[in-house]
Amino acid sequence: MKKWEIIHKGKTDDLVSMLLKNRGIIGKKDISCFLNPPDPAVLTPRDVNIETTSLAKAIKRIQKAIETKESIVVYSDYDADGITAGAVMWETLNQLGARVMPYIPHRVDEGYGLSVKGIDTVKELYNPTLIITVDHGITAREKVVYAKTLGIEVIVTDHHVKPALLPDCTVVHTTSLCGAGVSWFLAKELLRAMNHKLPVAFSMELLSLAAIGTIADMVPLVGANRSIARFGLAAINETKRVGLEALMADAGLTKGTVGTYDISHMIAPRLNAMGRIEHALDALRLLCTKQRDRADLLAQKLGMTNRERQQLTVDTTLHAKNFLTSRSPSIHSHKLIFLSHESYNQGVIGLVAGKLVEEYYRPAIVVSKGEVVSKASARSVAGFNIVEAIKTCSDILIDVGGHPMAAGFTVETKHLTALQDRLENLADKELDEEKLTRLLRIDLEIPLETATEALWQQIRGFEPFGFGNAEPVFATRGVVVGDVRLVGKDKKHLKLRIQSLTIDAIAFGLGELYGKFTPDKPVDIAYSIDMNTWNGNRKLQLKIKDIRV
């Protein structure tokens, strides 16, 4: 059951103004900036909260490394944000004539971010005098010290929350962008400082990568991120990058029609899959290759690996649910789910935790249990800061990091039982029934006849939708449903015909309501307005978020 929260309950004379107000966009300047985001090329360090002194220092050091032909390594993370961030930085430095190589650690063998093993490997392979981290490094204080003992300087570019003690090196940091956004901004400023005149097409291709990272990493699509996402999506839909074209083709996408949903549900999972169960370097190679045949082969490999990742996620989730119910007669015996098992692959435990939250709507921690050391991923619900909860147990953890809604940590296996007890007790105290009830935020309650193509067209100005800028949701009460059909491979979805307007509606995941509709019992619906395009035909439809029978 979802709790409905209707944000605006007044008159509906000016729907666009109300939708803007619901998003906290009120002043004339803010409204203009939201509806007409500025070209990200004009963004300043102040616009994205990057400290100018550190930025200038980083640019100066990179310029020196380029001019003196030093060996540079761009050290990326293995997720979609890190991969695109690495591609942006590597391509820029390569274009500027640098001796530069990309490096991505192996998730299991080396772990997240800078590591002693990773630094030793790049030292042996490339003997660099400069490492530039992208999408990580802000917590790597000890690793930066280690790199210095080998004669390697480090520039950190990151967007994660700063720790109490920063690494003793040049740091380009902001929490206002994703990792790829920070990398792109530094690249933009480096090109400007070196007075390098690049073709517009090259600059747009870099922006397309930054947009993928921005959407994939689920940073709020407001402000600078909104500019990067909107202009970057336009660049993606006009791309000549053969790797991106091959990736879209393998995903069944048509260039020119790609939106945020396609990036987050089709492109990003393919990039992420390599780092989850193989090695992410092939994903970076795909984005950067100029050979079409190679791009097609790599795109096929990413697609195949993603299908393997999907099956592994399904199998592990099923095991987790069975393990959960067999261990406890009631899955609600605690307000936090904590599961560990030797068979769980580190690459999918975060996805499994997310599936458990989706199913049971309570925080979930899934642990890949090792003989000596275990790795864990956590996902949460609104109102429960999962990373801060985990940090209360720092005395028995090896490391921890993340965000209020998602986190990861490493722990000695011998401490798992104690850790589980402490976190379950903490959640039992802090979570109440209200926080464990799904909340559906509805912008406005409107008459059904207001849901027209004209309104759909007005809402286009709010795109791109995504985290921090959700697609508007409306509610209408007393709707009479005519024809109802079960659709989808597993018959989990409903296709409905709304009688009063003879308008179609699709309700994903609400198949359990089939058989509960009768003409004499009107229902309340919450929905977004969609344009269904099929075989060249366009037809307005409602995408149902919830139904109250």
* pLDDT above 90 (res 137): yes
Asked if residue 59 and residue 9 are part of one domain, the reply reads no
User: Do the beta carbons of residue 549 and residue 510 sit within 8 Å?
Assistant: no
Give me the CATH number covering residue 477.
2.40.50.460
Using 50, 70 and 90 to split pLDDT, how confident is the model at 87? Answer: very high
Asked if residue 44 and residue 122 are part of one domain, the reply reads yes
Q: What pLDDT shows up at residue 498?
A: 83
Asked if residue 29 and residue 45 are part of one domain, the reply reads no
From 367, 401, 430, give the residue that closes a domain. 430
This prediction has a pTM of 0.91
pLDDT in tens, 7-51: 866 555 688 889 998 888 988 999 999 999 999 999 999 999 999
From 397, 430, 463, give the residue that closes a domain. 430
Amino acid at 515: G
Give me the CATH number covering residue 382.
3.10.310.30
Asked if residue 349 and residue 264 are part of one domain, the reply reads no
* pLDDT above 80 (res 332): no
Asked if residue 352 and residue 386 are part of one domain, the reply reads yes
Asked whether residue 255 is assigned to any structural domain, the reply reads yes
Q: How far is CA 250 from CA 81, 273, 304, in A?
A: 20, 14, 10
Task: Report how far Cα 524 is from the mean position of its chain's Cα atoms.
Answer: 32
**Residue of higher predicted confidence among 120 and 22:** 120
Q: What pLDDT shows up at residue 329?
A: 58
Q: Percentage of residues in the chain with pLDDT exceeding 70?
A: 97
* pLDDT above 90 (res 169): yes
Q: For the chain, how far is it from start to end, CA to CA, in angstroms?
A: 11
Say how far apart CA 419 and CA 413 lie, in whole Å.
10
218-232, 258-272, 323-337, 406-420: the lowest-pLDDT one:
323-337
Asked if residue 245 and residue 122 are part of one domain, the reply reads yes
> What are the helix (H) ranges across 108-241?
116-126, 141-149, 179-193, 200-216, 223-236
User: Do the beta carbons of residue 76 and residue 135 sit within 8 Å?
Assistant: yes
Q: What pLDDT shows up at residue 41?
A: 93
User: Do the beta carbons of residue 236 and residue 261 sit within 8 Å?
Assistant: no
Using 50, 70 and 90 to split pLDDT, how confident is the model at 328? Answer: low
Asked whether residue 323 is assigned to any structural domain, the reply reads no
Using 50, 70 and 90 to split pLDDT, how confident is the model at 199? Answer: confident
From 430, 465, 486, give the residue that closes a domain. 430
Asked whether residue 13 is assigned to any structural domain, the reply reads yes
331 DSSP 8-state letter:
T
* pLDDT above 60 (res 268): yes
Asked if residue 423 and residue 448 are part of one domain, the reply reads no
Number of domains in the chain: 3
* pLDDT above 80 (res 243): yes
223-227, 289-293, 489-493: the lowest-pLDDT one:
489-493
Task: State mean pLDDT over 179-195.
Answer: 94
Asked if residue 536 and residue 388 are part of one domain, the reply reads no
* pLDDT above 80 (res 76): yes
Q: What pLDDT shows up at residue 10?
A: 57
Asked if residue 349 and residue 272 are part of one domain, the reply reads no
Asked whether residue 467 is assigned to any structural domain, the reply reads yes
Asked whether residue 314 is assigned to any structural domain, the reply reads no
Task: State mean pLDDT over 159-179.
Answer: 93
Asked whether residue 315 is assigned to any structural domain, the reply reads no
Task: State mean pLDDT over 53-81.
Answer: 97
Task: State mean pLDDT over 127-137.
Answer: 97
Say how far apart CA 244 and CA 267 lie, in whole Å.
9
Task: State mean pLDDT over 499-526.
Answer: 83
Amino acid at 518: T
Say how far apart CA 98 and CA 92 lie, in whole Å.
9
Asked whether residue 321 is assigned to any structural domain, the reply reads no
* pLDDT above 60 (res 345): yes
In whole numbers, what is the pLDDT of the chain averaged over residues?
A: 92
Asked if residue 336 and residue 238 are part of one domain, the reply reads no
Asked if residue 85 and residue 216 are part of one domain, the reply reads yes
Asked if residue 336 and residue 253 are part of one domain, the reply reads no
Say how far apart CA 77 and CA 84 lie, in whole Å.
9
- Residues of the domain holding 230: 40-304
Q: Percentage of residues in the chain with pLDDT exceeding 90?
A: 72
Asked whether residue 144 is assigned to any structural domain, the reply reads yes
Q: What pLDDT shows up at residue 88?
A: 97
Q: What SS3 class is residue 166?
A: coil
